[in-house]
Amino acid sequence: MALSLPLYPPFLSFTKYSFRFSGCTAAATALFRTLSRPPLNSSPLPRPLHSMATTDCKSSPLQNPLHFPSSAIKIPSVAARTTVESGLNGSNHPSLVVVSFYRFADFPDHASMRKPLKDLCEEVRVSGGIILAPEGINGSICGTRESVERVLSFIQSDERLKGLRMVESPVTPEDEAIHHGHTSSSPLGAGDDAPFRWDHVRVKLKKEIVTFGDPSVLPTKMVGKYVKPRDWNELISDPETMVIDVRNMYEIRIGKFKRAVDPCTNAFREFPTWVDEQFDMEKSEESETANTVDRTLTQSEITEQKSLPRVAMYCTGGIRCEKASSFLLSKGFNEVYHLEGGILKYLEEVPKSESLWEGECFVFDKRVSVEHGMVPGTYKLCYGCKQPVSDEDMKAPEWEYGVSCPYCFSIKSEEEKERARARQRQFETWGVIGGPDKGRRKPNPVKINGEEHDLKGRRFPNSI
């Protein structure tokens, strides 16, 4: 006999040995999948926000964000229910923060930090993504302030990584549905592409912390002059200053500074080619070679021959400008400035009434875009191409949720679109891409109440 528990969502009921679904929705399946896993250690979960689960009680075994409104969740204990409510109201639990950081450094033994750093993040329940490379560290993490500070302190315990450049973003309750993973309408499984999946942190080893493709560019050796957000307006308002946006086209499309030049790049590694073409650097270098047959030119003579302008550049958080400014200096530019802390710091510190920023700023997490004051913007993400789309874009005939948008429809083959549709169907059925076994071979079923289940108690559907 099944004992229905009204304290749980209406689609879930218990028997002595199994769960029973009265409606196989993505939300139900996601919950069932998480409940079937063994619990984490007994340490209490921090207050749920954009990278955390939507419930919060010390005995909670939930491992993934739930795909239904938190108002629908009922906990079968007055104490537990009080914990959840106080967590949602923020009265008894510390708030969460998102911190983006980077540091260029001579770090050849970077791989040795990967395991202890990942272990610490998992221990203190800090989520996000971190890149380690011979040239330094780059990351974006989320957790309670105490936990995040503990991770940052560990990183900076290495003398070479002291002085991380950081931008902090507050976490609001409105962000939660976006940041804790994926909502029920997402075409991807919970956390599969979420940089702030609450129970997961990625620590990757790469050749570069930001891909530029030119190993001779070393921000540790030389870099442009940093400009504080409060001083930025004066610099870029000078008609003698060339303002360059070093981000990619899809980022610039939704927002940029007044007078900014768009290099029209699809990837940061295309920036050197744009510089060479824009300023005829190859011809200038040929001229230099011819002139140095008789004597060596001074740096000021070289710069004068090239007629290179004063440059002010900016990017999202500042890291790309470090490499771009170093590259321009190596090419003979004399005056190279870049916005300290990037667009994010500017939007945080400069009032909208004084701002020269137009539009919204694309960010690489579930917010998609932010506006002044770091409040979430209005753009959504096309899961076919990972580009930002507006409400107007989603009215276009090329828009198909989880498949295509006006920016990728024409470049995607029908085969690619069909694969995307199949992925979307999988998510709508299971709440995760590839079904409950995520594309792995289906295990031999066991019979429970006359229905086939896997060894974890998950019911096999008739079809995907």
Query: pLDDT, tens digit, for every residue of 294-330?
Result: 455 555 555 455 578 999 999 999 999 999 999 999 9
pLDDT in tens, 167-183: 887 666 555 444 444 33
Predicted confidence at residue 419, as pLDDT, reads 92
Exposure string over 266-284, b if 16+ CB within 10 A, otherwise e: eebebbbebbeeebebeeb
Average pLDDT of every residue of the chain: 74
Give the separation between CA 42 and CA 96, rounded to whole angstroms. Answer: 20
Contact status, residue 98 vs residue 366, Cβ threshold 8 Å: no
Predicted confidence at residue 233, as pLDDT, reads 97
Contacts of 370 (CB under 8 A, 6+ apart): 169, 344, 347, 360, 361, 363, 376, 377
Exposure string over 364-393, b if 16+ CB within 10 A, otherwise e: ebbbbbbbbebebbebbbbbbeebbbbeeb
Give the separation between CA 357 and CA 258, rounded to whole angstroms. Answer: 6
DSSP state of 45: P
Predicted confidence at residue 300, as pLDDT, reads 54
Give the separation between CA 302 and CA 111, rounded to whole angstroms. Answer: 41
Predicted confidence at residue 359, as pLDDT, reads 97
User: In the chain, what percentage of residues exceed pLDDT 70?
Assistant: 61
Predicted confidence at residue 43, as pLDDT, reads 40
pLDDT in tens, 58-100: 333 333 333 333 333 333 333 333 333 334 444 445 678 888 8
Give the separation between CA 162 and CA 354, rounded to whole angstroms. Answer: 33
Contact status, residue 179 vs residue 171, Cβ threshold 8 Å: yes
Query: For residue 373, is pLDDT > 70?
Result: yes
**Given pLDDT bands bounded at 50, 70 and 90, which one contains residue 196?**
low
Predicted confidence at residue 438, as pLDDT, reads 53
Predicted confidence at residue 306, as pLDDT, reads 58
Predicted confidence at residue 74, as pLDDT, reads 35
In 76-234, the DSSP E strands lie at: 96-104, 127-133, 136-144, 165-170, 201-205, 225-227
What residues act catalytically? 315
Closest by CA to 251, choosing from 270, 236, 266, is 266
Query: For residue 454, is pLDDT > 80?
Result: no
Assigned token pair, 350: 């400069």
The domains located in the chain, with CATH, are: 96-180+193-205 (3.30.70.100), 212-279+308-378 (3.40.250.10), 384-436 (no CATH)
pTM of the model: 0.66
Of 51 and 160, which is predicted with more confidence? 160
Of 206 and 47, which is predicted with more confidence? 206
Predicted confidence at residue 78, as pLDDT, reads 33
